[in-house]
Chains A and B, each alone.
Chain A
Amino acid sequence: MLPKFFEFFENYMSVVSIFFTALFYLSLAIFLVGMTRKIYQYWQTPVPLKIPTAPTPLTQTGVVMRMAREVVLFESLFKSNKWTWLFGWLFHIGLLLVLIRHIRYFWPGDLPEVFLLIQPFKYAAFAMVIGLIGLITRRITVERVRYISAPSDYLMLLLLLIIGISGVVMSFTSNHTDIIMVKNFASGLLIFDWANLPTEVHFLVHIFLAFSLLALFPISKLLHIPGIFFSPTRNQVDDSRKKRHISSWALKQEQEGQVILNETLGKDK
Chain B
Amino acid sequence: MADFEIPELPTYLEIPAINEGVMQGDGPFKSVEEFQTPLGFPGKKIDNWQEVAISKMGELKSKYRSVQVFLDACVKCGACTDKCHYFLGSSDPKNMPVARQDLFRSVYRRHFTFAGKYFPKLVGAKELDDAMLDDWYNYFHQCSQCRRCSVFCPYGIDTAEISMAAREVLDTVGVGQKYCNQILGKAITIGNNLGLPEPALRDTLLDLEEEIEEETGIAVKYPLDVKGAEILLITPSADFFAEPHIDGLIGYGKVFHQDGVSWTMSSYASEGANFGMFIGSYDVMRSAALRIRKAALDLEVSRIMVGECGHAWRVAYSFWNTLSGVGAGATDEHAMKLQQQLDSRYPQPQHIIEYTYDLIQRGKLEFDKSANDDRTVTFHDSCNVARATNMGGIPNGQFILPREVIKAVCNNFVDMERSTIMESTFCCGGGGGLLTDDLMEIRIKGAMPRMQALKEVEKTNAVDTLVAICAICKSQFSKVLPKFDFDPYMIVSAHQLVSEAIIMDKPQKAVTAEIAETAETAEAK
B386: chain A residues at CB < 8 Å are 54
| Minimum CB distance partner of B399 in chain A | A54
In the complex the two chains form, what is the Cα distance from A76 to B297 in whole Å? 43
Q: If the complex has contacts A149-B76, A228-B73, are A244 and B158 also in contact, measured as CB distance less than 8 A?
A: no
Q: Is A223 among interface residues, defined by CB-CB distance under 8 A?
A: yes
Q: Is B505 among interface residues, defined by CB-CB distance under 8 A?
A: no
Q: Is A9 among interface residues, defined by CB-CB distance under 8 A?
A: no
Say which size band chain B's interface belongs to. 35 or more
Q: If the complex has contacts A148-B102, A227-B155, are A244 and B114 also in contact, measured as CB distance less than 8 A?
A: no
B232-260 near A? 1/0 per residue, CB < 8 Å: 00000000000000000000000000000
Q: Is A47 among interface residues, defined by CB-CB distance under 8 A?
A: yes
Closest approach, in angstroms, between the C-beta of A131 and any C-beta of chain B? 12
Task: Kindly specify which of B171-179, B320-328, B432-440 makes contact with the partner chain.
Answer: B320-328
Interface residues of A in 26-48 (CB under 8 A from B): 38, 41-42, 45-48
Task: Kindly specify which of A14-22, A150-158, A196-204 makes contact with the partner chain.
Answer: A150-158
Say yes or no: B158 contacts A45, CB within 8 Å: no
Say yes or no: A241 contacts B66, CB within 8 Å: no
Q: Is B151 among interface residues, defined by CB-CB distance under 8 A?
A: yes
Say yes or no: B387 contacts A219, CB within 8 Å: no
Task: Kindly specify which of B331-339, B455-463, B469-477 makes contact with the partner chain.
Answer: B331-339
Q: If the complex has contacts A142-B78, A148-B81, are A230 and B69 also in contact, measured as CB distance less than 8 A?
A: yes
Q: Is B415 among interface residues, defined by CB-CB distance under 8 A?
A: no
Q: Is A4 among interface residues, defined by CB-CB distance under 8 A?
A: no
Q: Is B29 among interface residues, defined by CB-CB distance under 8 A?
A: no
A241: chain B residues at CB < 8 Å are 317, 321, 327-328, 347-349
In the complex the two chains form, what is the Cα distance from A268 to B73 in whole Å? 47
A54: chain B residues at CB < 8 Å are 151, 386-388, 396, 398, 422-423
Interface residues of A in 222-251 (CB under 8 A from B): 223-224, 227-228, 230-234, 238, 240-247, 249-251
Determine which of A147, A227, A247, A259 lies in contact with B96 in the assembled complex, contact meaning CB atoms within 8 Å: A147
Q: Is A84 among interface residues, defined by CB-CB distance under 8 A?
A: yes
In the complex the two chains form, what is the Cα distance from A52 to B18 in whole Å? 31
| Minimum CB distance partner of A260 in chain B | B334
Q: If the complex has contacts A54-B387, A148-B99, are A138 and B321 also in contact, measured as CB distance less than 8 A?
A: no
A79: chain B residues at CB < 8 Å are 151-152
Say yes or no: A245 contacts B321, CB within 8 Å: yes
Q: If the complex has contacts A144-B96, A259-B290, A265-B294, are A51 and B73 also in contact, measured as CB distance less than 8 A?
A: no
Say yes or no: A245 contacts B322, CB within 8 Å: yes
B70: chain A residues at CB < 8 Å are 231
B80: chain A residues at CB < 8 Å are 80
Q: Is B82 among interface residues, defined by CB-CB distance under 8 A?
A: yes
In the complex the two chains form, what is the Cα distance from A221 to B74 in whole Å? 6
Q: Is B122 among interface residues, defined by CB-CB distance under 8 A?
A: yes
| Minimum CB distance partner of A230 in chain B | B69
Q: Number of A interface residues, CB 8 Å?
A: 72
| Minimum CB distance partner of A239 in chain B | B329
Say yes or no: B290 contacts A58, CB within 8 Å: no
Q: Is B345 among interface residues, defined by CB-CB distance under 8 A?
A: no
Q: Is B61 among interface residues, defined by CB-CB distance under 8 A?
A: yes
Most B CB within 10 A of own CB, among A46, A138, A244, A250: A244
Determine which of A81, A139, A142, A246 lies in contact with B322 in the assembled complex, contact meaning CB atoms within 8 Å: A246
Determine which of B69, B82, B151, B349 lies in contact with A76 in the assembled complex, contact meaning CB atoms within 8 Å: B151
Say yes or no: B81 contacts A254, CB within 8 Å: no
Interface residues of B in 112-143 (CB under 8 A from A): 113-115, 119, 121-124
Q: Is A107 among interface residues, defined by CB-CB distance under 8 A?
A: no
Closest approach, in angstroms, between the C-beta of A256 and any C-beta of chain B? 12
In the complex the two chains form, what is the Cα distance from A242 to B69 in whole Å? 26
In the complex the two chains form, what is the Cα distance from A220 to B387 in whole Å? 30
Q: If the complex has contacts A58-B390, A231-B156, are A144 and B78 also in contact, measured as CB distance less than 8 A?
A: yes
A139: chain B residues at CB < 8 Å are 78
Closest approach, in angstroms, between the C-beta of B338 and any C-beta of chain A? 8
Of the A-B pairs whose beta carbons lie under 8 Å apart in the complex, a sample of 28, sorted by A's number, is: A45-B69, A48-B63, A48-B322, A50-B322, A53-B387, A54-B398, A54-B423, A58-B390, A79-B152, A80-B154, A144-B81, A145-B76, A148-B81, A148-B102, A151-B121, A151-B124, A153-B75, A219-B114, A224-B73, A227-B155, A228-B73, A231-B157, A233-B157, A240-B318, A243-B321, A249-B63, A265-B294, A266-B298
Starting from the known contacts A53-B423, A81-B79, A232-B156, 10 additional A-B residue pairs (CB-CB under 8 Å) come to A42-B68, A45-B64, A48-B64, A53-B158, A148-B76, A221-B75, A231-B66, A233-B156, A245-B321, A259-B290
